[in-house]
A and B are shown apart, each in its own frame.
Chain A
């Protein structure tokens, strides 16, 4: 920045001399412009490789994920002729007879069996039982001589007379679908366009979203209540105690996440050290359930996220001059008044930034909730991984990823407004 200001200044000074030597001034100005252009080129060349690398290894993967949330190739690949016929069907009343012919033709065409199986799986997301209906039909039709397609299919299963099945096929003729994104907030596409809330027993993700937000909020709250006095002690006590405190905050920060998680599992278990101590002190008769449930999750997550709250608070508190507090008490304010009206307001920007940061990290956490939480404590990130790895429903995994990402980006925008992202990451 300083360089460009000086060259600006130089340009202006030289234009002051322009009255005397207009030609030389113009040449100088052109020289400065060329120099600035060259400087900019160098900067771009220095940053270019990293940006290209991030685009390749991060932005494109993220884009692929976003794309999978709306990608809808399965039915188009498997049943092109059926979709062509259904284009003209208005969706009400019985399915058109030609659709049956087209479906038989699609099944008898040389599409590989796994393409049909994938279409069955995709359709099954929308109507349970569609997969087995299609699989049964494919098995039967492939080896059969068929004269009247409609009769034959209805003989295989009466369900082929239900327009709902054909409407689902029709709806999935488009290359992109909102189905996964709607499902991520427990909505189902309606037959007449629009969307409606899923039946109560099928609602899964709104409660998961709520749980994610509640767990993150509780963890953040506990963290700020613990971190505030710790940070204050580190800043104000000074000397050896302060250094030891700081080391105690930093050691977990540098210790492997899995080491800390395994430690909590071991010490919180039924025969673990915490239960032994509680029983020895007579505080409880039977061992408490402290792990693989919400209690264990809160304890472990607070432990892991506490440094992320303490460190920003320390940096804010360090910046507060002790003279403010002294001035306040010399003017007659009691300790409580001084704290509430002088010290606390000065630390609020740090508290706000620390809380939002902790909340965001908590909301995206995967390892600790998976290992320490129970089945009913799993957060959104667990389901993102579950659908990608276990059920291979990439669309659903991606859509939940989009949901989680939008929550987190919204919070980052809030932080950006309040304190500035640059300050959070320490780049100002």
Chain B
């Protein structure tokens, strides 16, 4: 490629990088503003907004709700998704593509439609405005991510290891616990991470089926953005950006370890 075109491309990519991450970082200084307006220049430095989000109401209560619901949804989605991925990778399955379509359908249907449907259906069962309802809703929407991630990991898994374990007298469950699970752990962990991040960031279903007692963090932010924005939302955003860097680097680490598992000779250290 001619050098001038390449330079043009690099320049373009530089602007694209600013576009991609600039906005997120541009709001961080405003969260330290001493005034309650949302623009530059800052009149002075203050931690008042961070003090405000550390109060129990409404932010910390919302954060706690999000953590509870996220943990519940992650547990349900990871267990059911991992077990199903094991079944899917064994073969011997009648109507495999139909089952696959059912499993990934929560990912395909726009979440507004899922939310309305759950609102109608859960209302009949008394699950609206309950933690259980929101956990189930988030789990079912997150479970395709778990199935996909674990299935991808199982593709590199050598089934002969399980047969070897069985021939040495291990029960199927024992073989799973001591052979299969440790080897597919990176996939399970990243699937669980996906599920948690999904639930922690989900707002549309929460808008439909959470009551005031289950207000999640995204819902608190959504309400704040719709009514009146003050810098406390930006302080919370800043915290979330810092938090989101953690799963990102965690995911990178897990992938690196999985790659090292796949090609042991890479383990040069």
Q: Is B168 on the interface with A (CB-CB < 8 A)?
A: no
How far is it, in angstroms, between the C-alpha of A44 and the C-alpha of B99 when the chains are bound? 10
Decide if B38 touches A269 in the complex (CB within 8 Å). yes
How far is it, in angstroms, between the C-alpha of A210 and the C-alpha of B114 when the chains are bound? 22
- Tell me the residues in window 200-230 of chain B with beta carbons closer than 8 Å to chain A beta carbons: 200-201, 203-204, 207-208, 218, 221-222, 225-226, 229
Identify which of B145-153, B181-189, B259-267 touches chain A. B145-153
Decide if A425 touches B144 in the complex (CB within 8 Å). yes
Identify which of A89-97, A171-179, A200-208, A249-257 touches chain B. A249-257
- Tell me the residues in window 119-141 of chain B with beta carbons closer than 8 Å to chain A beta carbons: 119-122, 124, 136-137, 139-141
Contact of B110 among A249, A303, A405 (CB under 8 A): A405
Complex interface: chain A residues within 8 A of B5 (CB): 335
Interface SS of B by simple majority: helix
Complex interface: chain B residues within 8 A of A68 (CB): 120
Minimal Cβ-Cβ distance residue in B for A234: B13
How far is it, in angstroms, between the C-alpha of A64 and the C-alpha of B116 when the chains are bound? 9
Q: Is A404 on the interface with B (CB-CB < 8 A)?
A: yes
Supposing A50-B103, A303-B20, A388-B119 touch, asked if A263 and B136 sit within 8 A by C-beta, the answer is no
List 20 A-B pairs, Cβ < 8 Å: A2-B91, A43-B91, A43-B92, A44-B93, A46-B84, A49-B80, A50-B84, A62-B109, A63-B117, A226-B16, A245-B13, A248-B17, A252-B24, A260-B23, A261-B225, A262-B229, A262-B233, A263-B27, A371-B226, A381-B110
Identify which of A51-59, A106-114, A121-129 touches chain B. A51-59
How far is it, in angstroms, between the C-alpha of A47 and the C-alpha of B1 when the chains are bound? 50
Size category of the A interface is 35 or more
Decide if B111 touches A257 in the complex (CB within 8 Å). no
A65 CB to nearest B CB, Å: 4
Decide if A422 touches B100 in the complex (CB within 8 Å). yes
Supposing A255-B244, A303-B23, A367-B203 touch, asked if A51 and B13 sit within 8 A by C-beta, the answer is no
Decide if B94 touches A254 in the complex (CB within 8 Å). no
Minimal Cβ-Cβ distance residue in A for B239: A259
- Tell me the residues in window 294-319 of chain A with beta carbons closer than 8 Å to chain B beta carbons: 303, 306
Q: Is A130 on the interface with B (CB-CB < 8 A)?
A: no
Complex interface: chain B residues within 8 A of A404 (CB): 110, 112-113
Complex interface: chain B residues within 8 A of A271 (CB): 37-39
Known: A250-B248, A260-B23. 20 other contacts (CB 8 A): A2-B91, A39-B90, A40-B94, A42-B87, A60-B121, A64-B117, A64-B124, A65-B117, A248-B21, A256-B201, A257-B203, A259-B244, A262-B225, A276-B40, A367-B222, A370-B226, A389-B207, A408-B108, A421-B101, A427-B152
The listed residue with most B CB atoms (<10 A of its CB), out of A45, A50, A61, A397, is A50
Decide if B23 touches A51 in the complex (CB within 8 Å). no
Q: Is A264 on the interface with B (CB-CB < 8 A)?
A: yes
What 8 A-B pairs are tightest by C-beta distance, nearest first?
A: A364-B110, A46-B87, A61-B117, A65-B117, A50-B84, A61-B121, A57-B140, A271-B39
Contact of B13 among A60, A61, A229, A335 (CB under 8 A): A229
Q: Is A375 on the interface with B (CB-CB < 8 A)?
A: no
How far is it, in angstroms, between the C-alpha of A381 and the C-alpha of B208 when the chains are bound? 13
- Tell me the residues in window 374-390 of chain A with beta carbons closer than 8 Å to chain B beta carbons: 381, 384-385, 388-389
Complex interface: chain A residues within 8 A of B81 (CB): 50
How far is it, in angstroms, between the C-alpha of A381 and the C-alpha of B114 when the chains are bound? 11
Decide if A262 touches B148 in the complex (CB within 8 Å). no
Supposing A229-B13, A245-B13, A421-B104 touch, asked if A65 and B99 sit within 8 A by C-beta, the answer is no
Q: Is A230 on the interface with B (CB-CB < 8 A)?
A: yes
Supposing A388-B119, A389-B208 touch, asked if A427 and B84 sit within 8 A by C-beta, the answer is no
Contact of A427 among B108, B151, B234 (CB under 8 A): B151
Complex interface: chain B residues within 8 A of A254 (CB): 197, 244-245, 247-248, 251
